[in-house]
Amino acid sequence: MEDLLRPIYQERASNLHTLGIIMIEKSDEAFPITDTFNSVLLVIVKESQKPFIIKHYESNNGKATLYTVTDTQLKEWLLLGSNRKVIDWILNGRVMFDRNDYIEDLKKELYEFPTEERQIKMGVEFAKLIRRYQDGKAFFELKHNLDAYNYVIHALHHLARLAVIEKGFHPEVTVWNQVKQIDPQIHKLYVELVESEESLEKRLELLFLASEFLIHSRVRLGGSHLINVLSENEDSWLYGEIMEHPDLQIYSVDLEVFIEFLVEKHLLEVELMETKGQGIYHRKYKISK
């Protein structure tokens, strides 16, 4: 397969905009990160008309996919975890071209996992966790157990990813294998939910009880990024101001639920501001003292 791809990556390597090229080849262990392809070629560029372009190739030796991605898009994927396979590609792939040690520096940064970046990733995962957990609990109380199960499974995945980040590692595609080593308690919750012979209702009931402590114990950690951003301003914030802050747009649709959760946990407090309507107030948010 490499013979097929060699002229393709050699052509890209000659382009001055190309920062690095990585090849990932299918093996029994690598199957989840190469999807159905025999090889993946990741080409990282300084700039491009589109943030990323994907092309597919085929020969007698199999199939290959080529990802051409800008440095900016790649950093966004790494920060938000929106393309988890990329971490595996960078850490475990074969470096075919590396301009000015770009990939070497990228790997070093991934291994070091700076505190500020870790804080942002924990905030995003925690916000997603709260949204899924609360939705799951609401469905459970309405006796919609299958819907509750679906949301709780997603919540547990975010809790697992949060636990991995907390220990200074990037969550990989095989996150449950990581969690088994890093936080056996969370792994056990997941196994009991999926494999227990108890009724679904009983499994969900036990999981909600067990999860409360695991979530509560991570409130300050999970909320630290958002709290730090809001502390830039000593005054209280309207929700629209929070939503429009460039550093908080990463929370997207989970932001409202996250804000209310932090109010409930007394990390934020609500301040009421009069409107022109009698008896109607704007809600403003500030850091609790």
Taking the C-alpha atoms of residue 167 and residue 218, their distance in angstroms, rounded to an integer, is 13
Q: 145-166 and 175-182 helices cross at what angle (nearest 10)?
A: 60
What six digits make up the tokens of 10?
Answer: 């050699």
Complete edge-to-edge strand list for the sheet that includes strand 52-59: 52-59, 62-70, 39-45, 18-25, 94-98
H or E element that contains 255: helix 255-264
What domains are defined for the chain? 2-112 (3.30.460.10), 115-273 (1.20.120.330)
Taking the C-alpha atoms of residue 249 and residue 243, their distance in angstroms, rounded to an integer, is 6
Give the single-character DSSP code of 141.
H
pTM here? 0.86
Give the single-character DSSP code of 134.
H
Angle at 222 between CA 220 and CA 226, to 5 degrees: 90
What six digits make up the tokens of 167?
Answer: 């220990």
Higher pLDDT, 27 or 202: 202
- Give the pLDDT confidence of 147-179 residue by residue, as tens digits: 999 999 999 999 999 999 999 998 877 889 999
Name the nearest CA neighbour of 176 among 84, 38, 91, 113.
84
Taking the C-alpha atoms of residue 212 and residue 134, their distance in angstroms, rounded to an integer, is 11
- Give the pLDDT confidence of 233-247 residue by residue, as tens digits: 888 999 999 999 999
Name the nearest CA neighbour of 282 among 243, 249, 246, 237.
237
Show the DSSP H helices in 84-217 as ranges: 85-92, 102-112, 115-141, 145-166, 175-182, 184-195, 200-216
Taking the C-alpha atoms of residue 128 and residue 116, their distance in angstroms, rounded to an integer, is 19
- Give the pLDDT confidence of 52-88 residue by residue, as tens digits: 999 999 888 789 999 999 999 999 998 888 788 898 8
- Give the pLDDT confidence of 248-274 residue by residue, as tens digits: 999 999 999 999 999 999 999 999 998
